[in-house]
Amino acid sequence: MRTRPLKVALLGCGVVGSEVARIMTTHADDLAARIGAPVELAGVAVRRPGKVREGIDPALVTTDATALVKQGDIDVVVEVIGGIEPARTLITAAFEHGASVVSANKALLAQDGAALHAAAEENGKDLYYEAAVAGAIPLIRPLRESLAGDKVNRVLGIVNGTTNFILDKMDSTGAGYQEALDEATALGYAEADPTADVEGFDAAAKAAILAGIAFHTRVRLDDVYREGMTEVTAADFASAKEMGCTIKLLAICERAADGASVTARVHPAMIPLSHPLASVRGAYNAVFVESDAAGQLMFYGPGAGGSPTASAVLGDLVAVCRNRLSGATGPGESAYAALPVSPMGDVVTRYHISLDVADKPGVLAQVATVFAEHGVSIDTVRQQGKDGEASLVVVTHRASDAALNGTVEALRSLDTVRGVASIMRVEGE
């Protein structure tokens, strides 16, 4: 074993960063044995230097992250500060000054992953980011290494624990959205401002990363269709149960049937109770991968939190340090396919539409005619009504998003249609 330690700079010492530092200290001997050399925490960049950080030598703490990554003797920079800047500038500087990088920064990778990969390659360094998607669940490495010889056709997953907790609570207890959100906040699953989670921004960033790796194509955050879950109601869950389904906020990355394009999207969807993702409860994450040779694979586990995310960071740290010792680098960006990303209007799926209509003869015929005129085939219809008002629930066969939107607009123009109560996609069949 080499006795000279590999030096690690830690950018950020919050929930994840402090856990990374703790594990590096308490498991130092095991890490050294696995890597082939000891690892040494050479510096910790923070915003608030006066805060007590148990187990971390105060002499290592600095507010000058730029000086830390530019020292020249740093082997690996671990970035867990998040956000776009200064993370982007610091990571680029780390490459330029001889360090490889381990990051958990999903937002930055989804927005500027191509540029960061290019900077890593130009400087002959590694960029690893297992912790950016699905916490402790090994997912990035299986997609870009274990399945490198296969053709991935679909990645379907629950990649945000906060939203899954809220939807699971609504499903299991009948709670409304706000009530379930309040409980998630009280338990620490939701931030004080939950917008990034409940509006799908967090999941969309992860979908961009997954789609890019799965399909060997550059997919940016702007390419991902995003729809939040704040409008999901108890009535939607009641309808889902009548269909033998539940509701999840899904990240869906698909290769077109002809293989000529890909799509990436995040939105609430009904999935059959028989689907493996339907049983994912609480704040857990799970990702379902479908490929030509391997078939169907499911990755499941805790998707957030200090210890789970730190586990993924340390796994990357071990891999990168091994590469440093051998003088090699791991896999970089694979974007050779360069497939176009199709707009949401081209996506084909099933739909569940709930309409408020007048309770009188001929309404169903009018509605069915509108669907037929827009080329959307109806699978099932349920109608209930009294006192001149009725609820009409239509489940379609597979149709494009554009065709469905045209249908809905035409339905709104009918005098007998009082309103569109809800529209939800049906996935996982």
Structural tokens at position 390:
């009725």
C-alpha to C-alpha distances, 362 to 112, 134, 226, 384, 414, nearest whole angstrom: 54, 50, 37, 14, 12
Task: Render 232-275 in DSSP notation, one character per residue.
Answer: --HHHHHHHHHTTEEEEEEEEEEE-TTSS-EEEEEEEEEEETTS
C-alpha to C-alpha distances, 24 to 7, 315, 324, 338, nearest whole angstrom: 12, 11, 18, 39
What residue ranges in 84-211 does DSSP mark as E strands? 100-103, 127-128, 152-158
Strands 245-255 and 389-396 turn out to be unpaired
DSSP 5: P
What backbone torsions phi and psi does residue 217 show, to the nearest 5 degrees?
-145, 140
CB count in 10 Å sphere of residue 208: 29
Are 182 and 272 a contacting pair, CB within 8 Å? no
C-alpha to C-alpha distances, 346 to 247, 261, 297, 398, 408, nearest whole angstrom: 23, 10, 26, 12, 16
C-alpha to C-alpha distances, 381 to 99, 222, 334, 369, 422, nearest whole angstrom: 61, 36, 46, 13, 15
The active-site residue out of 169, 206, 248, 386 is: 206
What backbone torsions phi and psi does residue 162 show, to the nearest 5 degrees?
-60, -50
Residue 206 bears catalytic tag: yes
Cα dihedral across residues 109, 260, 351, 214: positive or negative: negative
CB count in 10 Å sphere of residue 325: 14
Cβ neighbors of 330 (< 8 A, separation 6 or more) are 126, 128, 319, 320, 323
> String of b and e for 341-372 (b: at least 16 CB within 10 Å)?
bbebeebbbbbbbbbebbbeeebeeebeebbe
Beta-bridge partners for 151: none
Round to whole Å and give the CA distance between 410 and 423: 14
Residues with catalytic roles? 206
